[in-house]
């Protein structure tokens, strides 16, 4: 993995978006971030109306400036691009056959289409999303999946499919192609390697690796120079979450 090009989670979250979870990991921000100790506990602070004195958000964790539509799209390497609303991220490959999109966060929503249109207009590749990879089943990362229509190939882990069939959310149609351990997706001369390494942030979270671009996307796990979101221990497999860092 090239740490310069790892997408993980949420160091871009600001204090007002602390529940939002995505981040473009950069080696430059991997130094530990010293957090100023709060003068009061959170409960006490709320009760007193006095906020604790936190360290400022590091510049490298704020993400790029957004356009007036509220998104940024940029090239990671070659035909691999990322799009963000400063909190969430998606990644897409433009290929000779169509676009392979990884995740569809609802906060970015239709701006995903605008970002893809912008890039494919510039590079002359087909703009239609033909493949949609789910990192995991959580609605905040794939809740805009339905805007790509019913005939897109949706790829996810077997557990993701089980959760989505159970949830029956029309915004998150279940995968049409599932895998248990590994799946290699080859579309129009581009390649993504999908791997399952056990539960971490969620029981179904996968690793998405683009070998030609040396880019790894692992969602809601990696927080370079940052802290994980609160309630980490409530619903996550903590040993698995820690192990995922070593695997990445």
Closer residue to Zn ion, CB minimum distance, 87 or 94: 87
Looking up tokens 């936190």 gives: 54
Closer residue to Zn ion, CB minimum distance, 101 or 119: 101
Give the range of 60-68, 106-114, 188-196, 218-226 binding Zn ion by CB under 5 A. Answer: 218-226
Closer residue to Zn ion, CB minimum distance, 131 or 138: 138
Cβ distance 82 to 7 under 8 Å? yes
Q: Minimum distance from CB of 110 to Zn ion (Å)?
A: 22
By rule CB under 5 A, what string of x and - marks binding of each residue 80-119 to Zn ion? ----------------------------------------
Q: Which of 93, 71, 72 is nearest to 81 (CA)?
A: 93
User: Which runs of E-coded beta strand occur in 177-233?
Assistant: 177-179, 182-187, 190-195, 207-210, 215-217
- Cα within 13 Å of Cα(52), Cβ side: 15
Say whether residue 172 binds Zn ion (CB under 5 A).
no
Alpha-carbon gap, residue 139 to 26, rounded angstroms = 25
Say whether residue 138 binds Zn ion (CB under 5 A).
yes
Q: Minimum distance from CB of 152 to Zn ion (Å)?
A: 21
Question: Helix, strand, or coil here: 210?
Answer: strand
Closer residue to Zn ion, CB minimum distance, 119 or 206: 206
User: Where would I find the H helices in 86-226?
Assistant: 111-123, 139-142, 158-167
Q: What one-character-per-residue DSSP string does 141-170 give?
A: HHTTGGGG-SSSEEEEEHHHHHHHHHH--T
Q: Minimum distance from CB of 220 to Zn ion (Å)?
A: 4
Q: Minimum distance from CB of 140 to Zn ion (Å)?
A: 6
Say whether residue 220 binds Zn ion (CB under 5 A).
yes
Which residues are near Zn ion by CB under 5 A?
Answer: 138, 220
């Amino acid at each position: 993995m090239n740490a310069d090009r790892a997408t993980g989670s949420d160091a871009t979250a600001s204090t007002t978006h602390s529940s939002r979870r995505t981040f473009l990991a950069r080696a430059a921000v991997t130094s530990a971030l010293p957090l100023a100790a709060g003068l009061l506990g959170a409960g006490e602070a709320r009760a007193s109306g006095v906020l604790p004195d936190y360290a400022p958000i590091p510049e490298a964790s704020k993400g790029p400036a957004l356009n007036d539509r509220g998104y940024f799209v940029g090239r990671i390497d070659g035909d691999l691009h990322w799009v963000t609303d400063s909190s969430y991220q998606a990644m897409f490959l433009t290929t000779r056959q169509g676009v392979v999109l990884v995740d569809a966060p609802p906060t970015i929503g239709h701006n995903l289409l605008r970002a893809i249109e912008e890039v494919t207009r510039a590079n002359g590749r087909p703009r239609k999303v033909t493949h949609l990879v789910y990192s995991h089943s959580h609605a905040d990362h794939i809740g805009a999946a339905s805007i790509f229509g019913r005939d897109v190939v949706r790829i996810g882990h077997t557990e993701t499919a089980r959760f989505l069939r159970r949830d029956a959310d029309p915004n998150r149609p279940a995968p049409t192609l599932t895998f248990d351990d590994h799946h290699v997706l080859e579309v129009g001369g581009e390649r993504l390697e999908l791997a399952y390494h056990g539960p971490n942030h969620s029981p179904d979270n996968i690793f998405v690796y683009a070998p030609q671009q040396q880019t790894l996307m692992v969602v809601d796990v990696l927080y370079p120079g940052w802290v994980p979101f609160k309630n980490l221990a409530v619903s996550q497999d903590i040993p698995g979450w820690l192990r995922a860092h070593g695997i990445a």
